[in-house]
Amino acid sequence: MRFFLKNSKGFTIIELLVVIVLCSIILMAVYGLYLASDKVFKHTRPISDVIEEMRSAIATLDFVFSRWGIGTPCINNNCTTVGNIIINCSDFYPPSDPMCITCKNGDFSSGCKDIEFYANLYGIGFVININGTQANLISCRLTTDEDHNYYYIWQGDKVINYNGTLNPPIYKIFELSPNNQDCIKNFIVPNARSSYIVNGTSGIYYLQPGDIIMRVPHKVRIYEKYYNGGYWLYIDKLDMATGTREERPIAKLEDVNSFKVFREDRSLKLEIKFRSQSLPERTLKIEKYFAR
């Protein structure tokens, strides 16, 4: 025991100094890396913020314009088009052209700041066959929820039981199962069933194979509006079945002239300048085309 105690050794001063110097170098390197990453984060965060806001707004625009004109009936049950030109929507519903669009502020030559059009924003379905008192359907988000159980029944390009006076008859689906079914995976085999009897504003109708069921459209308005200390891109959706509306901002804009829509034959060009909320001097301009 006395031998081991005599021959045991600790760290020398030089060894301790070497360890301290190495630890200091490592700590300085880590701290420098932290400062560099923090600087990069502060520089890129406003850019990522405005890109994220842009993505959300563009996703909303892509969705509503992909439904532009779908499920929109025409006055007298007869749709008309004027060559390759998008016409203005009439003051009354339904319009003469489902693809009509109205400029409410400015004009399409120099840039419209406020546009309005019709779009089916919810479900659509197809009757495949009738089995007894049940209709076998391909359901793409058909639903019997009280807020959305408002449908037009189409045969080809005509709305059934619509003689051109007043508005087309609206029908409700019963005994739908499953509710709000997705049709992305299979668009051939029926994925839902309902009662073949639908009740509407013009009486009872019995579904037939080949009938198309479409949610009553919304009147969609996209425009810029001053809100919370700045200008924002807004969307306003008016339900043509219930008369209820939903208005909300979708992205912050650079200034009062940051949203413009141009008409080019049967297509629209949107110019939008987005502004970062965290760092206002960061902006991003995009151009987006929509056509049908």
* Nearest to 219, CA basis, from 148, 123, 116: 116
Q: How many CA atoms lie within 13 A of 271 on its CB side?
A: 14
Other C-beta atoms lying within 10 Å of the C-beta of residue 248: 10
**What is d(CA 172, CA 153) in angstroms, rounded to the nearest whole number?**
10
Q: Which of 218, 204, 219 is nearest to 160 (CA)?
A: 204
Q: How far apart are CA 85 and CA 268, in angstroms?
A: 11
Q: Is the pLDDT of residue 11 over 70?
A: no
Task: Determine the pLDDT at residue 35.
Answer: 62
What's the one-letter identity of residue 247? E
Give the mean model confidence (pLDDT) for residues 98-118.
94
CA quadruple 199, 200, 201, 205: dihedral sign: negative
pLDDT in the model for residue 223: 97
| 8 Å CB contact between 213 and 151 | yes
22-26, 119-123, 215-219: the lowest-pLDDT one: 22-26
Q: What is the pLDDT of residues 43-95, one digit of tens each?
A: 555 566 667 768 888 999 999 999 999 999 999 898 876 667 788 888 889 99
Q: Which of 155-159, 174-178, 256-260, 282-286 has the lowest mean pLDDT?
A: 282-286
Q: Where are the domains of the chain?
A: 51-118+218-291, 124-215
Between CA 106 and CA 162 the distance in angstroms is 35
Q: What percent of the chain has pLDDT over 70?
A: 87
Sign of the alpha-carbon dihedral angle for 185, 154, 180, 117? positive
pLDDT of residue 149: 96
Query: CA 220, CA 277: separation in Å to the nearest integer?
Result: 26
pLDDT in tens, 111-168: 999 999 999 999 999 999 999 999 999 999 999 998 899 999 999 889 999 987 788 9
Q: How confident is the model at residue 2 (pLDDT cuts 50, 70, 90)?
A: low
Average pLDDT in the chain: 86
Q: CA distances (Å), 64 to each of 69, 119, 122, 180, 218, in order? A: 10, 7, 10, 19, 10
